[in-house]
């Protein structure tokens, strides 16, 4: 009889890991946008690590689902030194989703103020750019930049995990360059 | 009046509004409406949704025994209506929202605090007679709890995890929660106002984004309501593909929920495992239909993407692996006593409360309310499919997990049947305009019953729309579920409910 452990090892050797190999290239548009946004500002030396605080400022929750996906074992964002934190006080980056609703505008502002400098803001999803399909409502202030300054946009509705990764890697490259 | 009169008998005294499909709409005057509210104290008619218009209030009701459904409308030109929330607690928040949005005052409602309106829109009653508002945001008077050693814990709107915003106010004695009160409305986007006046196709894009995790269910409910209003039949293949997408959405959400609940009991391996399974499912969606979450794939008239023969085969293979992985994970859950210890007996909701609120989905089914819109009122192709609706009675976190497990298994079987019987033919019927109309549809999302009501103009534009999320009747029960539990178990309870913020706030 084949011992169970041998079967187990064989299965895992043949199947390979869950995690996708390699990393997507940093988003080229993102690099350009960042170069512009950060050109004048001090760059932090973060030693290739980023702590992110996610803020849903009015999203439909679709963007959150894909943020969960970049944390799953297939994309495993943490292997690049990027991880999500529970408090803005521990964060370098605010990842903001959704059109900003008026009911969330103050909470977003306060979260931004609670984040220590140097800090960066990534607006994720088409809503976060300019309000997307919710623009023009009495309840919506607009995109993220209507309330706080934005350094990088990640396009899509919702952006697929690869694009989120590529965007965040572009940010990581830029802010950790000397 | 007698207690055993049926809903339709009762309503036959009112005026039937022509052109409302597929269920009738009746108008009641002030006396008729009041009689209805009084009748509700002795009848078991369920409130499925309640919404407003500038000078009219509507409620969608279902007669429990007959299953008959009807919209009841009450014109209220003086801006007041007799509150249904007096006799049906599930309607209280709905009526507070009606007041916020349309400015109609629910008379006799004890709780007159605003709900969705936080005093930040710059306008009051935006969908009724808008009035400019330049004052300060409202302060919210939370309910109190008094006693020795009680303290408060405010949480949110920005939470610690990657979840939607909302505020929770706990009153605690030591670690034990004495009272939880929710305050929602933070992600209110004004969807009903945004879609008014838009062509049906534009409105469909917005309705698909009421709650991103239920995008198929919302698109389907909207499509079915529009089709009812315009008298359009989608082609058979589209009907079956819609069900296929809906079941994929259900599985993907349930699978991830199960993992996330276990993660909140510090058992992260389940989340990792379930996350990998979900990823396979979403990639399947992307490959076959061109969008990971299937957004904008179900449209009025049919579906926007057909399934190729190769796609059908790929789905079959993918499902084989996902099923196996799913059963392995369930076996792990079942054989981990420390995890079961956290989920069993935690966050119990009694069956009586679930019935009173008419809560659906896994929240209802884990507490003995077995309602499922795919069965009642039912819609095609489910009448030709064989499926089980699992029901449990324990009402705890464990039961909500196990109901999800059983539903995932049932959905796998449904998909087998759909893939085997998928009819050939076109997938999209043209939207012929045959005059104005009103339509309503109920669709079972992974979370429960989603309802969309729509009025379409002769030009094919949405005149008014109301979308109802199942969370309306589940959020209040979360407050009850946490009662007497410790604060540390709140994430566990909350995740096991997984109510939608965006769907509720809209
Ligand atoms: S970008 Fe799309 S998925 Fe993201 S919040 Fe907006 S509508 Fe939802």
- Structural domain includes residue B161: no
CA-to-CA distance for B210 and B500, rounded, in angstroms?
A: 10
Q: Residue B4: pLDDT above 90?
A: no
Do B452 and B316 belong to one domain? yes
Q: Which of B121, B165, B292 shows the shortest C-beta gap to A138?
A: B121
- pLDDT category at B67 given cuts 50, 70, 90 is confident
Q: Residue B2: pLDDT above 70?
A: no
The pick from A63, A159, A160 for probing ligand 1's pocket by mutation, whose C-beta has the most ligand atoms within 8 angstroms, reads A63
Q: Which of B102, B379, B415 is nearest to B245 (CA)?
A: B415
Chain A hits for B131, CB-CB cut-off 8 Å, are none
Residues near ligand 1 (Cβ within 6 A): A 59-60, 62-63, 97-98, 125-127, 132, 157-158; B 209, 212
Residue nearest to atom 8 of ligand 1 (CA): A60
Nearest atom in ligand 1 to A65's CA: 3
Which of B95, B117, B132 is where one domain is finished?
B132
Q: Which two tokens stand for residue B6?
A: 């049926």
Q: How far is the CA of B429 from the centre of ligand 1 (A)?
A: 28
CATH for B87:
3.30.460.80
- Range A132-142 average pLDDT: 97
- Structural domain includes residue B313: yes
CA-to-CA distance for B34 and B49, rounded, in angstroms?
A: 18
Question: pLDDT tens digits, residue range A97-110?
Answer: 999 999 999 999 99
CA-to-CA distance for B366 and B399, rounded, in angstroms?
A: 5
Q: Residue A47: pLDDT above 70?
A: no
Rounded to 5°, angle at Cα B295 from B262 and A96:
65
**What pLDDT shows up at residue B154?**
94
Do B461 and B318 belong to one domain? yes
- pLDDT category at B482 given cuts 50, 70, 90 is very high
Question: pLDDT tens digits, residue range B273-292?
Answer: 999 999 999 999 999 999 99
- Could you count the other beta carbons within 10 Å of the beta carbon of residue B398? 24
Do B107 and B253 belong to one domain? no
Which of B470, B485, B501 is where one domain is finished?
B470
Do B97 and B208 belong to one domain? no
- Structural domain includes residue B334: yes
Q: State how many domains chain B has.
A: 2
Which of B114, B132, B150 is where one domain is finished?
B132
Closest approach of B451 to chain A, Cα-based (Å): 17
Q: How far is the CA of A111 from the centre of ligand 1 (A)?
A: 21
Do B85 and B196 belong to one domain? no
In this structure, which long-range contacts are made by residues B406-414, counting pairs with CB atoms below 8 Å and at least 24 apart in sequence? B407/B250, B407/B254, B407/B362, B407/B446, B408/B250, B408/B251, B408/B254, B408/B255, B408/B326, B411/B247, B411/B250, B411/B251, B411/B254, B412/B251, B412/B319, B412/B323, B413/B386, B413/B387, B414/B243, B414/B247, B414/B385, B414/B387
Do B122 and B245 belong to one domain? no
Q: For residues B117 and B93, is the Cβ–Cβ distance under 8 A?
A: no
Q: Which of B126, B165, B275 shows the shortest C-beta gap to A104?
A: B165
Average pLDDT, chain A: 88
Question: pLDDT tens digits, residue range A48-75?
Answer: 788 999 999 999 999 999 999 999 999 9
Do B368 and B457 belong to one domain? yes
CA-to-CA distance for B195 and B462, rounded, in angstroms?
A: 7
On whether the pTM is more than 0.90, the answer is yes
- Interface test mutation site (partner A, options B101, B134, B160, B162, max chain A beta carbons within 10 A): B162
Closest approach of B415 to chain A, Cα-based (Å): 23
CATH for B284:
1.10.645.10
| Interaxial angle between packed helices A62-70 and A161-176, expressed in degrees from 0 to 180 and rounded to the nearest 10 | 70
DSSP string across A19-66: SPSS-PPPPHHHHHHHHHHHTTSPPP--TT-EEEEEEESS--SHHHHH
Chain B hits for A57, CB-CB cut-off 8 Å, are 165
β-pair partners for B46: B62
Range of the domain at B57: 7-132
- pLDDT category at A42 given cuts 50, 70, 90 is very low
- Structural domain includes residue B142: no
**What pLDDT shows up at residue B183?**
97
Query: Do the Cβ atoms of A61 and B188 come within 8 Å?
Result: no
Non-local (6+) Cβ contacts of B144 within 8 A are B171
**What pLDDT shows up at residue B3?**
57
CA-to-CA distance for B81 and B104, rounded, in angstroms?
A: 7
Question: pLDDT tens digits, residue range B347-406?
Answer: 999 999 999 999 999 999 999 999 999 999 999 999 999 999 999 999 999 999 999 999
SS3 B447: coil
Nearest atom in ligand 1 to A156's CA: 1
Is residue B190 exposed (0-12), middle (13-18) or buried (19+ Cβ within 10 Å)? Answer: buried
The pick from A96, A101, A126, A161 for probing ligand 1's pocket by mutation, whose C-beta has the most ligand atoms within 8 angstroms, reads A126
Question: pLDDT tens digits, residue range B33-65?
Answer: 999 999 999 998 999 999 999 999 999 999 977
Do B205 and B122 belong to one domain? no
Q: Residue B207: pLDDT above 80?
A: yes
Nearest atom in ligand 1 to A66's CA: 3
- Range B302-328 average pLDDT: 95
Q: Which of B160, B212, B292 shows the shortest C-beta gap to A61?
A: B212
**What pLDDT shows up at residue A3?**
77
Q: For residues B447 and B373, is the Cβ–Cβ distance under 8 A?
A: no
Do B251 and B381 belong to one domain? yes
Do B121 and B204 belong to one domain? no
Q: Which of B157, B188, B189 shows the shortest C-beta gap to A107?
A: B157
Q: Residue B120: pLDDT above 90?
A: yes
Do B125 and B265 belong to one domain? no
- Range B156-161 average pLDDT: 90
Do B115 and B209 belong to one domain? no
Residue nearest to atom 5 of ligand 1 (CA): A59
Query: Do the Cβ atoms of B295 and A62 come within 8 Å?
Result: yes
Question: pLDDT tens digits, residue range A108-119?
Answer: 999 999 999 889
Chain A hits for B197, CB-CB cut-off 8 Å, are none
- Structural domain includes residue B21: yes
Q: Which of B162, B189, B282 shows the shortest C-beta gap to A84?
A: B162
Q: Which two tokens stand for residue B376?
A: 């009642």
């Amino acid at each position: 009889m084949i011992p169970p452990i041998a079967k187990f090892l064989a299965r895992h050797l043949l199947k390979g890991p869950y995690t996708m190999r390699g990393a997507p290239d940093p988003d080229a548009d993102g690099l350009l946008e960042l170069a512009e946004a950060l050109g004048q500002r001090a760059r932090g030396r973060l030693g290739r690590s980023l702590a992110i605080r996610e803020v849903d400022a009015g999203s439909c929750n679709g963007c959150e689902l894909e943020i969960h996906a970049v944390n799953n074992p297939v994309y495993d964002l943490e292997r690049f030194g990027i991880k999500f934190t529970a408090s803005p006080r521990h964060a370098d980056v605010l990842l903001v989703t959704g059109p900003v609703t008026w009911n969330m505008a103050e909470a977003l502002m306060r979260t931004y103020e609670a984040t220590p400098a140097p800090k960066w803001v990534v607006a994720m999803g088409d809503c976060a750019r300019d309000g997307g399909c919710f623009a023009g409502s009495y309840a919506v202030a607009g995109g993220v930049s209507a309330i706080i300054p934005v350094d990088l946009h990640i396009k899509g509705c919702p952006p697929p995990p690869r694009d989120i990764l590529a965007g965040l890697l572009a940010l990581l490259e830029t802010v950790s360059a000397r | 009046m007698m207690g055993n009169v049926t809903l339709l008998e009762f309503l036959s005294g009112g005026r039937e509004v022509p052109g409302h499909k597929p269920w009738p709409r009746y108008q009641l005057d002030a006396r008729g409406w009041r009689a209805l509210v009084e009748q509700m104290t002795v009848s078991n008619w369920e409130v499925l949704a309640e919404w407003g218009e500038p000078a009219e209030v509507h409620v969608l009701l279902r007669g429990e025994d007959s299953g008959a459904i009807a919209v009841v409308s009450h014109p209220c030109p003086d801006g007041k209506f007799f509150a249904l929330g007096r006799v049906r607690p599930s309607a209280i928040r709905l009526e507070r929202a009606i007041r916020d949005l349309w400015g109609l005052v629910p008379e006799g409602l004890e709780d007159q605090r605003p709900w969705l309106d936080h005093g930040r829109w710059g306008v009051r009653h935006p969908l009724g007679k808008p009035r400019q508002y330049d004052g300060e945001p409202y302060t919210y008077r939370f309910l109190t709890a008094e006693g020795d050693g009680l303290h408060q814990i405010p949480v949110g709107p920005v939470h610690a995890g990657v979840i939607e915003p909302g505020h929770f106010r706990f009153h605690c004695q030591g670690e034990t929660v004495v009272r939880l009160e929710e305050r929602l409305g933070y992600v209110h986007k004004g969807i009903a106002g945004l879609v008014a006046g838009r062509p049906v196709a534009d409105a469909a894009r917005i309705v698909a984004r009421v709650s991103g995790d239920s995008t198929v269910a919302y698109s389907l409910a909207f499509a079915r309501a529009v089709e009812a209003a315009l008298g359009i039949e989608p082609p058979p293949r589209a009907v079956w593909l819609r069900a296929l997408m809906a079941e994929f959405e259900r599985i993907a959400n349930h699978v991830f929920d199960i993992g996330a609940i276990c993660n909140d009991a510090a058992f992260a391996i389940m989340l990792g495992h379930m996350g990998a399974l979900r990823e396979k499912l979403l990639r399947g969606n992307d490959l076959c239909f061109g969008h990971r979450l299937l957004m904008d794939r179900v449209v009025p008239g049919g579906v926007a993407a057909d399934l190729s023969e190769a796609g059908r085969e790929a789905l079959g293979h993918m499902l084989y692996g996902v099923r196996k992985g799913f059963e392995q994970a369930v076996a792990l859950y079942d054989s981990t006593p420390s995890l079961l210890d956290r989920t069993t007996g935690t966050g119990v909701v009694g069956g009586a409360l679930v019935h009173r609120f008419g809560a659906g989905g896994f929240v209802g089914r884990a507490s003995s309310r077995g309602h499922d819109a795919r069965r009642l009122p039912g819609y095609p192709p489910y009448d030709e499919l064989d499926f089980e609706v699992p029901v449990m009675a324990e009402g705890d976190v464990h039961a909500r997990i196990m109901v999800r497990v059983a539903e995932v298994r049932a959905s796998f079987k449904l998909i087998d049947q759909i893939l085997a019987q998928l009819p050939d033919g076109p997938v999209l019927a043209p939207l012929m305009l045959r005059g104005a109309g009103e339509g309503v549809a109920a669709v079972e999302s992974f979370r429960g019953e989603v309802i969309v009501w729509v009025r379409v103009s002769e030009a094919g534009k949405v005149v008014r729309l109301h979308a109802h999320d199942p969370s309306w009747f589940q959020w209040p029960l979360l407050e009850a579920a946490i009662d007497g539990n410790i604060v540390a178990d709140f994430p566990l309870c909350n995740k096991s409910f997984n109510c939608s913020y965006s769907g509720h706030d809209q």
